Amino acid sequence: MLRRLYHGTLALAASRHAPWWLALVSFAESSVFPIPPDVMLAPMVLARPERAWRYAAVCTLASVAGGMLGYAIGYFAGDLGRQLLALTGHREGLEAFRQWYDRWGLWVILIKGATPITYKLVTITSGLAAFSFPVFMAASVVTRAARFFLVALVIKRFGPSLLPVIERRLYATAAIALAVLVGGFLLVKLLG
């Protein structure tokens, strides 16, 4: 089943409609969707490395636009924002964000915006806290671009040479990726 899902994702990533799906996932992940766009970006760059920068730009623009929606949800629809935070496991999101901001200032958006886990927390709580919208937007552009262009660079540079290894050891690779993902979640929780 894992091998079929892997090859299906690579086939979708190579399809002519993949950039639209990538944009949709990137947009939705910034405010309401739980799956980060990296799960599409990486195989798309692997399938079409010559389009790595275009795909990273699609992710960045759509993610920042989705961040604007997340900010608007927090700013204009506070109750909905709190409900979304609760649904995504961040019930105390606003208070945690305020504490982080009091402690680290703008670095909260810069650091959290670069991670795949809590950007929706940043977008919604920035709106709830009425954080400066221009500063929020500037930080979002910087962090989201840095993250997606870095993913594209790594996959473009090292992906083709790793592809045979990944395909030979698909289950071990999936287990390692899952361990890294879970470790990332734990690290963010510990630091947050």
Q: Which structural domain, as residue segments, surrounds residue 103?
A: 2-191
- Mean pLDDT: which of 77-86, 91-100, 119-128, 131-140 is highest? 131-140
**Per-residue pLDDT at 178 exceeds 80:** no
Are 44 and 13 in contact by the 8 Å Cβ rule? The answer is yes
| Mean pLDDT, residues 169-189 taken together | 52
Residues 6+ apart with CB under 8 A from 142: 110, 113
Are 156 and 49 in contact by the 8 Å Cβ rule? The answer is yes
Residue reference for tokens 């990332």 = 184
> How far apart are the C-alpha atoms of 182 and 93, rounded to whole Å?
20
Query: pLDDT, tens digit, for every residue of 92-114?
Result: 656 766 677 667 666 767 766 66
Measure the N-to-C terminal CA separation of the chain; round to a whole number of Å: 35
> Collapsing DSSP states into helix, strand and coil, what is residue 49?
helix
Are 18 and 54 in contact by the 8 Å Cβ rule? The answer is no
**Per-residue pLDDT at 62 exceeds 90:** yes
Q: From 83, 84, 94, 115, select the one nearest 191 (Cα to Cα).
A: 115
**Per-residue pLDDT at 191 exceeds 90:** no
| Mean pLDDT, residues 11-24 taken together | 82
> How far apart are the C-alpha atoms of 187 and 115, rounded to whole Å?
11
Tell me how many domains the chain contains.
1
Query: pLDDT, tens digit, for every residue of 158-176?
Result: 876 665 555 555 455 555 5
DSSP 84-151: HHHHTT-TTHHHHHHHHHHHHTTHHHHHHHHSSSSHHHHHHHHHHTT--HHHHHHHHHHHHHHHHHHH
Helix (H) or strand (E) holding 56: helix 52-76
